[in-house]
Structure 1
Amino acid sequence: MTTDGAPADGPHQGPGPAANPLGHGPVLLLAGARLADGRIVDVRISGDRIQAVAAAGGLGPLPALPGGPTATTGARIDLTGYLLLPAPAEAHAHYDLAFSAAPAPPPPGAPALPATTPQSAAELTRRVTEAALTSLGYGATAQRTHVRIGGAGGLGRLEAVLTARQALRGLAELQTVAVPRLLTGLAGADGRARLREALKLGATAAGGCPELDPDPAGYVQVLVEAAGEADCPVDLHTQGGDPVALGRLAAALAPLRPRVTLGPCSALGAPGPALLADAGIRVVCLPQNGCCTGIEGRPTGLRPSLVAELAKAGIAPAAGSGSLRDAANPAGRADPLEAAYLLAAGGALDLEAAYDAVANQARAVLGLPPVRIDAGFPAELLAVRGDSLAGALAGGHSRLVVHSGRVVSRTSAVREFADTVALALPRQGASG
């Protein structure tokens, strides 16, 4: 697991002081935080990197800034009672569909709901921004969303997401995957043109679902050519149920490895995991959508966990949220810790591997460097109220999120009981 910090023999010095362009002065000190291994530490951040980690109190006071006696000393945040972790990332979302689930029908006798109208670019941008901020509030400082392109909407959805991405700069990193429906034949001419336009416009990756095209092999060929021209990764949807088709897909994607991701692979069976492991392809599962945890088989019986099968084959899977209150999952939450909880509670992975699936494995899918709570690593951190990883996944509601060395989100949850309970248990009204 990657939640370990510096050895307890003293601070490990990292990069020298650097101005923090995002605020809080050049230095941020996170004091008294608990690491996943149980140690209580102070973490000093300079710019967008962790500068030093030591036992609580071992780093001394914050250094004075240049400018004489009137200069400030940065910011100190007391994280007593919090568990400090590498920040999670959202590896697979659909923000262009977020909050689009049909509203509840009116009660009997109430007037009918007005007919829906075409969604404006401003409204779509607002929903994408709200979705990204929702995920950020849960801790995801880096996020990847798949976006539909082509057809009547052209590049409108992508343009709205790119507008939101610009607005979110400094708060979170938002990546986009351009998703055309068709790419082959006459019907795919628009998709082929739009895909190349999307990658020139700023889409991070090329994606889609080959199984929806009449010629899946041709679809992948077009995608590989476009991604090669743009020098970008590929992130595809597939169920992976046909091992022969999966083998052909892996072979067709060979020119772009290791920058290839498949998901959710919910129908994957033998020998699929071994095939993907040999091909060096990353896999993203969607536990909140019931993928890869066996939930699909209810009520006839739970099938073996696909995540466990991937792990046995040597694939460290990433996990994403998928849907956020859209038609596919009206109750989606976009909480990476919920995805990790589902993987751990369902027995698919142990606690450490489950959290790693939404943290450093998810970051790897996004092409980002790993995070450890140690000197020199990116200051992408999540502090969760709790004293253990199990407690954090089970119900860590109070959270503090650090992106590029800056505190970008803080959530405080306070639990209160009725007077009769409070009198009997006066110390049980703690924050959670």
Structure 2
Amino acid sequence: MDSAAADGHSGPGPAANPLGHGPVLLLTDARLADGRVVDVRISGDRIQAVGTAGSLGPLPALPGTPTATTGARIDLKGYLLLPAPAEAHAHYDVAFSAALPTPPPETPADLTRRVTEAALTSLGYGATAQRTHVRIGDVHGLRRLEAVLTARQALRGLAELQAVAMPRLLTGRAGADGRAQLRDALKLGATAAGGCPELDPDPAGYVQVLLEAAREADCPVDLHTTGADPVQLARLASALAPLRPRVVLGPCGSPAPGAATVLATSGVRVVCLPQNGRCSGLEGRAAEQRPGLLRELLEARVPFAAGSGSLRDPANPVGRADPLEAAYLLAAGGLMAPEAAYDAVANQARAVLGLPPVRVDAGFPAELLAVRGDSLAGALAGGHSRLVVHSGRVVSRTSAVREFADTVVLALPRQSGSTGGG
């Protein structure tokens, strides 16, 4: 499998500046999730028109496939065209650290390299918008955040990268450094204020300090919580009420009974992490005594997003940061249809990031993922070949080719498609 991300104006597809004022791009013969085969015309950073195949008029045709540079028109025959997913909850400052010494090296260059590589990995899978949580304060200072912000600038035009500043302590004398670092982080350019109140000796006080800093900076709040204590969760949700709907809670990995009811009435958004095993409920229908988080959220009608969490760090040494894998895990238990599972990593995840929804329809942002397959279920089961559009520009491509040994091929009836890509 070969994956590449565009750099400057050298990537696949027509060049466009980061503001999206680029030439027209025509995607032809793309299959949508509802089964329709359409052409999609993109102008700048918006979808201009969607019509039946061949109905949008000719554009200059250049030879090639979605895995090669093809100019103004790209043939997507054999591909499913979807709204691009988003990464709702990542930890890029520790990405690829599972095999590194403990503690891992944290020079500015090393941190920036790992953050950038993590963001490009997620982009290659289709996530054109991403949010990473970053430790600040203590021995870390603002080094990790500065690395994320440097990577964000380098990735401008390729992907949108958001940073959540996470101090460990905020209350009492021990939290003085965290309080100062949080305000500095938000002034420096962090997108949101976050952290884990349960790690502070005074969780309620932690939330109040965080809210004050968020109000001053006019930014959203994205907090870690297990949801293990529904009473504490209710207090947390009540304290966060003034900032609704700009509040996110996750990963909510081990909620107590009744937690989903609290979340349903709180008005906050919820993120779970199926790839980290922190989405209790993937055990599916067998859990009769203690339904898991997924079932509880569905029964309580709580809208939730799914994120990846770890990318080959100590929490998950084999984490992949693939939104389609997260959607697959949500659907695999049979509790969610593929469409709902994909929505959790696409528009629900975009809502967590405060971004507008995407549909393959005129007027919507040109944030798209083309994946090899003829159905959403098939794409979630193993769509490896992918083409990613951000702000109307093709920014990443992944090509997978499958070959069989001659002895196997010769033993099979001769058919077209006996070898191919996934």
Structure 2 vs 1, CA of residues 400 and 312 (structure 1 numbering), >3 Å: closer, same or farther? Answer: same
Contact 2:282 2:330 in 1 (8 A): no
Distance in structure 1 (CA, Å) of the matches to 2:283 and 2:76: 40
Match of 1:136 in 2: 123
Match of 2:7 in 1: none
Q: Post-superposition shift, 1:118? A: 3.5
Contact 2:409 2:418 in 1 (8 A): yes
Match of 1:428 in 2: 418
Query: Which consecutive residues of structure 2, in runs of 5 or more, have no partner in the other structure?
Result: 1-14, 62-69
Is 1:328 aligned to residue 324 of structure 2?
no
Distance in structure 1 (CA, Å) of the matches to 2:263 and 2:95: 30
Distance in structure 1 (CA, Å) of the matches to 2:181 and 2:219: 16
Which is worse superposed, 308-317 or 349-358? 308-317
Q: How does 1:300-379 map to 2 (within 5 A)?
A: 303-379=290-366
Deviation readout 1:343-370 (Å, 9 max, x if unpaired) = 0002242111100000000000000000
Match of 1:399 in 2: 386
CA RMSD of aligned residues (A): 2.2
What secondary structure does 1:133 align onto? helix
What secondary structure does 2:148 align onto? helix
Residue of 113, 119, 125 corresponding to 2:106: 119
Is 1:411 aligned to residue 401 of structure 2?
no
Distance in structure 2 (CA, Å) of the matches to 1:169 and 1:389: 30
Structure 2 vs 1, CA of residues 303 and 401 (structure 1 numbering), >3 Å: closer, same or farther? Answer: farther
Q: How does 1:205-244 map to 2 (within 5 A)?
A: 205-244=192-231
Distance in structure 2 (CA, Å) of the matches to 1:25 and 1:215: 51
Structure 2 vs 1, CA of residues 342 and 84 (structure 1 numbering), >3 Å: closer, same or farther? Answer: same
Q: Post-superposition shift, 1:314? A: 1.7
Deviation readout 1:313-335 (Å, 9 max, x if unpaired) = 12121000000000000000000
Contact 2:282 2:333 in 1 (8 A): no
Query: How many residue pairs align between the two structures?
Result: 395
Is 1:98 aligned to residue 95 of structure 2?
yes
Is 1:86 aligned to residue 73 of structure 2?
no
Q: Post-superposition shift, 1:296? A: 8.7
Match of 1:32 in 2: 29
Match of 2:54 in 1: 57
What secondary structure does 1:410 align onto? strand
Structure 2 vs 1, CA of residues 364 and 115 (structure 1 numbering), >3 Å: closer, same or farther? Answer: closer
Q: Post-superposition shift, 1:213? A: 0.2
What TM-score results when the alignment is normalised by the length of structure 2? Answer: 0.90
What secondary structure does 1:327 align onto? coil
Distance in structure 1 (CA, Å) of the matches to 2:138 and 2:193: 17
Distance in structure 1 (CA, Å) of the matches to 2:409 and 2:156: 44
Residue of 31, 43, 47 corresponding to 2:44: 47
Distance in structure 1 (CA, Å) of the matches to 2:129 and 2:296: 27
Structure 2 vs 1, CA of residues 308 and 40 (structure 1 numbering), >3 Å: closer, same or farther? Answer: same
Q: Post-superposition shift, 1:264? A: 1.0
Q: How does 1:373-388 map to 2 (within 5 A)?
A: 373-388=360-375
Residue of 238, 242, 252 corresponding to 2:239: 252
Match of 2:17 in 1: 21
What secondary structure does 2:139 align onto? helix
Structure 2 vs 1, CA of residues 333 and 301 (structure 1 numbering), >3 Å: closer, same or farther? Answer: farther
The letter for the 1-side match of 2:220 is P
Distance in structure 1 (CA, Å) of the matches to 2:298 and 2:184: 37
Distance in structure 1 (CA, Å) of the matches to 2:282 and 2:342: 20
Q: Post-superposition shift, 1:293? A: 3.7
What secondary structure does 1:354 align onto? helix
Contact 1:20 1:46 in 2 (8 A): no
Q: Post-superposition shift, 1:25? A: 4.6
Contact 1:305 1:348 in 2 (8 A): no
Structure 2 vs 1, CA of residues 373 and 129 (structure 1 numbering), >3 Å: closer, same or farther? Answer: same
Deviation readout 1:144-185 (Å, 9 max, x if unpaired) = 000000011200000000000000000000000000000000
Which is worse superposed, 418-427 or 219-228? 418-427
Is 1:275 aligned to residue 262 of structure 2?
yes
The letter for the 1-side match of 2:27 is L
Contact 2:60 2:73 in 1 (8 A): no
What secondary structure does 1:153 align onto? coil
Structure 2 vs 1, CA of residues 254 and 24 (structure 1 numbering), >3 Å: closer, same or farther? Answer: closer
Q: Which has more radius of gyration?
A: 1
Contact 1:293 1:348 in 2 (8 A): no
Moved over 3 A (4+): 22-25, 114-118, 293-297, 299-303
Deviation readout 1:70-112 (Å, 9 max, x if unpaired) = xxx9600000000000000000000001000035xxxxxxxxx
